[in-house]
Amino acid sequence: MRHTYLSGHSGQATVPQRRIVTARHGTATFVSKFQTMATANHSTVRHSPSRPASGSRQARLVQPATANELVRVLETGTHYPSPLRALGSASSCTRCTEAAGGTLVDMGEMNRVLRIDRDSVTVQPGITIAELADVLDSEGLETIGGFDYANRTVGGAISAAGLEAMSAGEVGSFSSSVRQIKFVTASGQRGCVNSDTATLLRLFRMSYGLLGIVYEVTLRVRPTQSFEVQAMKIDVADIHNLLARLTQSRSSARLKLFPFRGTVHCELRDSIAGADKGGRLAWRLKSWTVNSAMPAAAFALAKMMPVGKLRYPIVDSLSETTLNLSSLGPLKSGSAAIAQMTQTNVFGAGPCARTSWAFPQTSFASTVTAYFDFCRRHYARTGFRCDQPAVAFPTPKDPGALLSPAFEQSVVTLTAMSNRAEGWDDFAFEYAEFAENHGAIPLFGQSQHMSARAVKLSYGKRWDAFRRTREHFDPERRLVNQFFENFLAI
Ligand SMILES: Cc1cc2nc3c(=O)[nH]c(=O)nc-3n(C[C@H](O)[C@H](O)[C@H](O)COP(=O)(O)OP(=O)(O)OC[C@H]3O[C@@H](n4cnc5c(N)ncnc54)[C@H](O)[C@@H]3O)c2cc1C
């Protein structure tokens, strides 16, 4: 077990090289090809640019390598100070993973694939979705749905609300494909929830490390499916028709919104039996262009061309051009596995500020128009605008987790992103006001400046039920940091 001290939440943590072991039906094999990638993804502890680490209060970083070591970190009488907060790849953009004066429990060392069966896989939580996709692909299998940000860990992805592109009939969120979770409670007791304890399983999915720390996850998987990609660009005035079409189709969709051009780009994926599952090289190139090269170009342009009026039209044109890549032959088909395992590191380009809210799908067409107006008014008043297009994922209703933002209705998550840090915080604050005024549901890991009022309005009785169970699992509040304290107090 390794220990490090971090100043607040912003220090650099050197994580030892990780090793993934796959065990198919009990036979263990070492998979060394993942070592470099795994280390790169875990080398930095990040925090929201809008919420700097709180003063000089240090967090201790501990990296358990086994479930027994995790028990020793959490058990009563331990010398590890509270709050004890679990850490995946630390890509959340709120203070949900902050542990000022306490202990960050980095689960990155526990990244093994433990067992692959016909329709399920059992893993430790520190494995990333990209790493898992690669292992599953060699068995002709894939996880269900989703196509963005595969650098997150399985533990982080099932413990927090996800923004993913799902087809109708699939689960609405990655966490709903979880069949079983094994965890250690705040007092060091081991526990297990699965379909025999369905109510508890729903509580543990998306529970943000507030009920215990997950050390083993069993996920539903399926044979690899190929999809065909259809890309289109529409005027914002036609968004209503597009959303109506999406509700009736089985396509999964990702929208990119350009408020200053009044346009929306849409990428649709439809499962087609027998379609080509795509080439790794083409998909890696696409990911690199969209996630690394394009943000890096925007970042560099900001230094060379400080005048926004000149720079932003160029940045928007570059973004639109990269999106047209989807129309190229080799990218017209693919599979979730290829799309996930070829993802490049999206942190490469400099500070990437982001904040997401989940809006009711029924009123999303008018929300988009209002969001475009909001962005333009904010820019006219403050001179700040996001240099990246906003991203939206339609998410079908999914009551698979008690704290699911899509528990009661289908939602569309809308993420504002920018590589420009100056002016971001005011924008994110006003976007939070905009979101609350448009009935949006906050995501504890992804909605910057979310208020206790928004939590109460959005989660209501579900939050009360979660809070009551939480008190049972953690009566001494060892897992609660100041961020969650604000919401648990309402
Ligand atoms: C550039 C960028 C793009 C992104 N795109 C997407 C996207 O497309 N879709 C999407 O869903 N998200 C996206 N995100 C957000 C982020 O990936 C998700 O919030 C994800 O769930 C976080 O995973 P993580 O491994 O980084 O977890 P962390 O941020 O480390 O943790 C998330 C939460 O889970 C808890 N947790 C982590 N591990 C455990 C464990 N083992 N046991 C118990 N609790 C645990 C933490 O305490 C915390 O509350 C993006 C983030 C960035 C920076």
The residue whose C-alpha atom lies closest to atom 1 belonging to ligand 1 is 346
Q: What is the pTM of this model?
A: 0.88
pLDDT at 85 over 70: yes
Least confident range of 8-17, 124-133, 431-440: 8-17
CA 303 to ligand 1 center in whole angstroms: 30
Ligand 1 pocket test target in 61, 62, 148, 152 with most atoms within 8 Å of CB: 152
CA 346 to ligand 1 center in whole angstroms: 14
Residue 352, ligand 1, Cβ within 6 A: yes
Residue 111, ligand 1, Cβ within 6 A: no
CA 415 to ligand 1 center in whole angstroms: 14
CA 481 to ligand 1 center in whole angstroms: 17
Go through the domains of the chain in sequence order and give each one's CATH number: 2-223 (3.30.465.10), 226-442 (3.40.462.10)
The residue whose C-alpha atom lies closest to atom 6 belonging to ligand 1 is 149
pLDDT in tens, 168-209: 667 778 999 999 999 999 999 999 999 999 999 999 999 999
Confidence of residue 146 (pLDDT cuts 50, 70, 90): low
The residue whose C-alpha atom lies closest to atom 35 belonging to ligand 1 is 208
Cβ count near 354 (within 10 Å): 21
Could you tell me which residues are beta bridge partners of residue 230? 268
The residue whose C-alpha atom lies closest to atom 52 belonging to ligand 1 is 91
**Cβ-proximal residues to 220 (8 Å cutoff; 6+ apart), any chain:** 119, 120, 144, 177, 178, 179
Residue 166, ligand 1, Cβ within 6 A: no
Residue 258, ligand 1, Cβ within 6 A: no
Residue 86, ligand 1, Cβ within 6 A: yes
pLDDT in tens, 379-391: 999 999 999 999 9
